[in-house]
Amino acid sequence: MTDQDVTRDLSVIQEQLQAQSSAQDAIPAADALQRLSDLRERRTELEDSNLAENSKTAYAHDQERYGRWCKQMGLPPLPVNPEIVSLYLTDLSELIRSDGKPAYKVTSLRRVVSSLARLQYDTGGGRGLGDHELIARTINGLANERQERAEGRDPLLTEDVLKVISHMDHSTWPAGVSSARDTFVVLVGFATALRRENVAGLTAGNLTIHPHDGLHVRVGRTKTDQAGRGALLAVPYGQVPATCAPCAWFRWASLLAADTIEERMALVLSTPRNPDDWQHVCRGAFPELPDDAPVVTRVTKSGRIMMNRVSGTALYKRLLFRLENAGYDPDRYGFHSLRAGFVTQALIKEATHKAIRNQTLHKTDMMVDHYDRDNLPLRNNAVTKLGL
């Protein structure tokens, strides 16, 4: 929809309003038109805020690629045409990666449909692209043909987390700086079961030390809380210093708060090489940081801490780097492995579904059951009662 279209539509609305109002009640036409235009812009902002940043990025990528494909084929990208979209989806479904696997899974194609449905709505084409019979038949046909199995990530359990931390270089400059940051990320990611975007978005104001609970983590919008009501997650003081998240936060916060390279170097060099030799430091006075200071920041190879936050994708790549250094196959894991590991470890320890959901923020037991089936197939399984 062009600016001229918007102005024309608003003018019609304003004329209708004036026709229904008495002369003394109606505000000047120019003022009313300007106010309606401002309201429309504000409504657009509210619509945009309903989408997570990752969704916006994915939508923009999908829409741009669709536009390029239409241009190559000599087809009009707008208005969004279900016939053209179905052909585009068919074309994407035939793309093959270098390893011989389809470049687009059915789940990815469904996301493309969502992206183009958003494009249709934003350009005045209304809703319903995903429900169009032609689109639905194309997607459902591919799903039936491929019978793709959802590929989850292997979980990282408590012993795996400790192994990853133990293989980091904590006491050497400058490697110890990034090791302190990554230790904090791994422990908080595991103990809170937060997704990588939520961990990457933490600020110092989101983290507080409670005298009894341990570390309080205040989170805002999550995948299961798009309204952004927020939640308070607690991570207790660890039984051992190596897996104590409050201790990890103290070490990393001390580096963040240090004013000079010399101070940071002294903190790193005073850290015992072996995590088994660490002592609890979580009961002391924590360094003060501005509430809006990003927590997970970039660290240069020279040990400098850059006060700009890293992305969720960067956290994912960093975890794979740490896993590979610890002898794990990075192809089997992702940042979600920490979340899956939390659920799996909790189930092994006989935690209830409700207790697990208090931390994972899942709405129902269904997703907890999913982890149960995929990672602990013999748990509560009657096959163990057969006497085999």
* Residue ranges in the chain modelled with pLDDT below 70: 1-26, 43-54, 149-151, 221-228, 372-374
pLDDT of residue 101: 86
One-letter amino acid identity for 297?
T
The answer to whether the CB of 368 falls within 8 A of the CB of 375 is: no
Sign of the CA dihedral with 286 first, then 290, 292, and 295 last = negative
- Phi/psi region, residue 194 (left: phi>0; alpha: psi -120 to 50; beta: rest), is beta
The answer to whether the CB of 267 falls within 8 A of the CB of 254 is: yes
Short-list 48, 23, 18, 19, CA closest to 36:
18
pLDDT of residue 149: 66
pLDDT in tens, 179-212: 999 999 999 999 999 999 999 999 999 999 999 9
Domains of the chain are 51-146 (1.10.150.130), 158-339 (1.10.443.10)
- Phi/psi region, residue 128 (left: phi>0; alpha: psi -120 to 50; beta: rest), is left
13 vs 1, 25, 228, 232, CA distance in Å?
16, 16, 33, 45
pLDDT of residue 39: 78
pLDDT of residue 246: 97
Q: What is the pTM of this model?
A: 0.68
